[in-house]
Chains A and B, each alone.
Chain A
Amino acid sequence: MSITIYVPCDSSAVSLGADRVAAAIAKEAATRGIDIHLVRNGSRGMFWLEPLVEVATAKGRVAYGPVQPADVSGLFDADFTQGAAHTLSLGLTEELDYFKKQQRLTFARIGKTDPVSLTDYVENDGYRGLKNALSMTQEQIVQAVTDSGLRGRGGAAFPTGIKWKTVLNTASAQKYIICNADEGDSGTFSDRMVMEDDPFVLIEGMTIAGLAVNATQGYIYLRIEYPHACEVLNAAIATAYKEGYLGDNIQGSGKRFDLEVRLGAGAYVCGEETSLMESLEGKRGLVRFKPPLPAISGLFGQPTVVNNVISLASVPIILDKGGDYYRDFGIGRSRGTLPVQLAGNIKRPGLVELSFGLTLRELLYDFGGGSASGRPIKAVQVGGPLGAYLPEAQFDTVLDYEAFAAIWAVVGHGGIVVFDDTVNMAEMARYSMEFCKIESCGKCTPCRIGSTRGVEVMDDIINGRNLDKNIPLLRDLCDTLLNGSLCALGGMTPYPVLSALNHFPEDFGINAKATAA
């Protein structure tokens, strides 16, 4: 009987050599006359163990990692095809602590299945949400999403059900569903993993959204930096059309939904929903004034749902198991689960999906294992380049939208970037201003000019020039950006800058100066 061996095709695994490992396994098996069935699965999200090779056994899938091509011959010698012991043995994959302690709802299939196999998808509870949705009224679908308490996972945390309801109640001949797949935040990769490792869940979520609000056209606005996700999505969309899950008669219901991937072109600001729509319309990605809300007048002036990948990918399980099921995870007003991404200087980087309510400390140490360098963790930036830097004193903050807001921080898209004590926070503050300067769309003055002035002021501060004058000037500038910018790019750049200044004043030369004076 043929033995099934799994080698991930996720691009992070590939970046560490998974393709070469897969080729080496296929070659070695052929040489030894061993009949194997090689599956390119998604990643389990334990990236310090990638490339993570799994073998299907009677007891379950057994993991080996990290595997390099040079290890392959030795693995065969040790009979790894029978799940035998080897120095790279990790035991049963799903018994690994990091994996076992998670609550995977949105990521339920990820790492288990072949991403582009519709059969795998359907056999692992896929398209059950759509089946239910097809037997429900539009109001019932929207109600289920509202009941789930799902809030936008892109960063703004706006209740998804309310957004959908607005679009449903706005009459128009043409409405749109846009998936915001412009995941540009450093330290985040959960969108990429969904698109590369379980594309049908996004397609299903968007189809349900289309049915719910009467939209017949969907666009996935995907960043150009994700070429592998683009290939996988296009392959999955082609299969979905062929099998009647997209097109003019979805599963014989007579309902229509068309879906297309559109590529961005390297502009971070196009992750802002109105800028994204300008870009989709073929224009410069300039931010629009709001109102009108996209839900009333969005793409091509029509009512439009714009949701993040994770928000849309969470819809199928909500429609499958009910809004209550999803809502019963989480705390306070943060319902359900959040796929957290541990990145930067951390020993065990990866994807951790859990109910809201865990502390940062548990994530950083229990899951992450502390810094990769072995040095003390000095700061973490949560929520991407516009998120605040948090010092050790705040690591007991609970992962919850409101708890983060209370300490002037954001959960954002759930990315956590770890820095050890070698980081200079004034340099990081300068980088935040520089990033804003590079990525500003230029429409509003506070962001366009403020970011340039911000870099100059930070250069003065870093060089110790006129701190008495420049520190208040930096605060004043941040106040202007915060209150005067049109969108979150300028409006939130003060989060990393001021949090760095407030929590790490010594890096800005303030304590040193006080001592000298």
Chain B
Amino acid sequence: MTESGTTQPTVQEIIAALKDKPGALLPILHGIQGAMGYIPAESVPDIATALNLSRAEVHGVISFYHYFRDTPPGKHTIHLCRAESCQAMGAKQLEEHVKSKLGIGFHQTTADGKFSLEPVYCLGNCACSPAMQIGKEIYGRVTADSFDATITTTEASA
């Protein structure tokens, strides 16, 4: 018997709904992160029990994939592309601007909890480099000015 986690019902519902799929772990992790924004450490024992895995195995999968996170993100997550096509169009300078504008580095969240910044290696928007994504919205030909305007709008829409 593993110790039982103190997880919210939503995690239990997601596990119950998906645990019988072949290769259920990634769908479950996506389900939890989709609902909560991250994968709380308390959910790991429950996932492990449901899938007959060890907690170490579940943790190993969470830590392997860049997308999964075990801490709550800011209200908006900005994915800024660092890949070659965007670099060819000034992504490095844009990255410096974004970091100084937000006052954070990659994998960090602003003190007011509004924005998290993550690097991404290609959004498939290479014909409109440099590119970024905020939530599910994708932006092309991003400049320092258009970035500032976008985060102002994003903040206002929240």
Contact B85 A187, beta carbon cutoff 8 Å: yes
**Which residues of chain A are within 8 angstroms of B139 by Cβ–Cβ distance?**
15
B51 contacts A by Cβ under 8 Å: yes
Contact segment of B6-14, B17-25, B97-105: B17-25
Closest to B26 in A: A282
The CA-CA distance from A115 to B59 in the complex, in Å, is 39
Contact segment of A25-33, A287-295, A336-344, A461-469: A336-344
Closest to A269 in B: B64
A308 contacts B by Cβ under 8 Å: no
Distance (Å) between the CB of A417 and the closest chain B CB?
5
Question: Scoring B residues 92 to 123 as 1 if CB is less than 8 Å from chain A, else 0, what string do you get?
Answer: 00000000000000000000000000001111
Closest to A345 in B: B88
**Which residues of chain A are within 8 angstroms of B30 by Cβ–Cβ distance?**
224, 263, 265
**Which residues of chain A are within 8 angstroms of B128 by Cβ–Cβ distance?**
12, 15-16, 47, 50, 349
Distance (Å) between the CB of A380 and the closest chain B CB?
9
Distance (Å) between the CB of A126 and the closest chain B CB?
24
Contact A16 B27, beta carbon cutoff 8 Å: no
Closest to B83 in A: A186
Residue B121 contacts which of A186, A192, A372, A381 (CB distance < 8 angstroms)?
Answer: A186
Known: A263-B26, A266-B66, A282-B51. A15 touches B125 (CB 8 A): yes
Distance (Å) between the CB of A261 and the closest chain B CB?
10
Contact segment of A225-233, A247-255, A324-332: A225-233
**Which residues of chain A are within 8 angstroms of B65 by Cβ–Cβ distance?**
264-267, 285
**Which residues of chain A are within 8 angstroms of B126 by Cβ–Cβ distance?**
186-189, 341, 343-344, 349, 415, 417
Contact B67 A224, beta carbon cutoff 8 Å: yes
Contact B124 A11, beta carbon cutoff 8 Å: yes
Contact B123 A225, beta carbon cutoff 8 Å: yes
B156 contacts A by Cβ under 8 Å: no
Contact A284 B60, beta carbon cutoff 8 Å: yes
The CA-CA distance from A189 to B60 in the complex, in Å, is 31
Known: A12-B127, A279-B26. A186 touches B138 (CB 8 A): no
Chain A interface bracket (under 10, 10 to 19, 20 to 34, 35 or more) = 35 or more
Question: Scoring B residues 64 to 92 as 1 if CB is less than 8 Å from chain A, else 0, what string do you get?
Answer: 11111000000000010001111111000
- Interface positions of A from 1 to 54, Cβ below 8 Å from B: 11-12, 14-16, 47-48, 50
Distance (Å) between the CB of B148 and the closest chain A CB?
17
Number of interface residues of B (CB under 8 A): 42
A65 contacts B by Cβ under 8 Å: no
Contact B125 A12, beta carbon cutoff 8 Å: yes
B140 contacts A by Cβ under 8 Å: yes
Contact A431 B64, beta carbon cutoff 8 Å: no
**Which residues of chain A are within 8 angstroms of B123 by Cβ–Cβ distance?**
225
**Which residues of chain B are within 8 angstroms of A418 by Cβ–Cβ distance?**
88
Distance (Å) between the CB of B120 and the closest chain A CB?
6
Closest to A380 in B: B88
B32 contacts A by Cβ under 8 Å: no
- Interface positions of A from 412 to 441, Cβ below 8 Å from B: 415, 417-420, 423, 428, 431, 435, 438-439, 441
**Which residues of chain A are within 8 angstroms of B51 by Cβ–Cβ distance?**
282
The CA-CA distance from A255 to B60 in the complex, in Å, is 39
Distance (Å) between the CB of A264 and the closest chain B CB?
8
Known: A342-B127, A431-B87. A265 touches B23 (CB 8 A): no
Residue B88 contacts which of A12, A417, A441 (CB distance < 8 angstroms)?
Answer: A417
Closest to A284 in B: B64
A161 contacts B by Cβ under 8 Å: no
Could you list 14 A-B pairs, sorted by A, with CB under 8 Å?
Answer: A11-B125, A12-B125, A14-B138, A186-B126, A265-B26, A266-B67, A267-B64, A283-B61, A300-B23, A343-B88, A343-B127, A351-B127, A428-B84, A435-B121
Given contacts A186-B86, A282-B23, 11 further A-B contacts (CB under 8 A): A16-B141, A48-B127, A186-B85, A186-B121, A227-B136, A266-B67, A300-B23, A343-B85, A344-B88, A417-B84, A431-B87
Interface residues of A (CB under 8 A from B): 11-12, 14-16, 47-48, 50, 183-189, 191-192, 224-228, 262-268, 279-285, 300, 341-345, 349-351, 372, 381, 385, 415, 417-420, 423, 428, 431, 435, 438-439, 441
Query: Top 5 nearest A-B pairs by Cβ distance?
Result: A282-B25, A186-B83, A265-B65, A266-B67, A15-B140
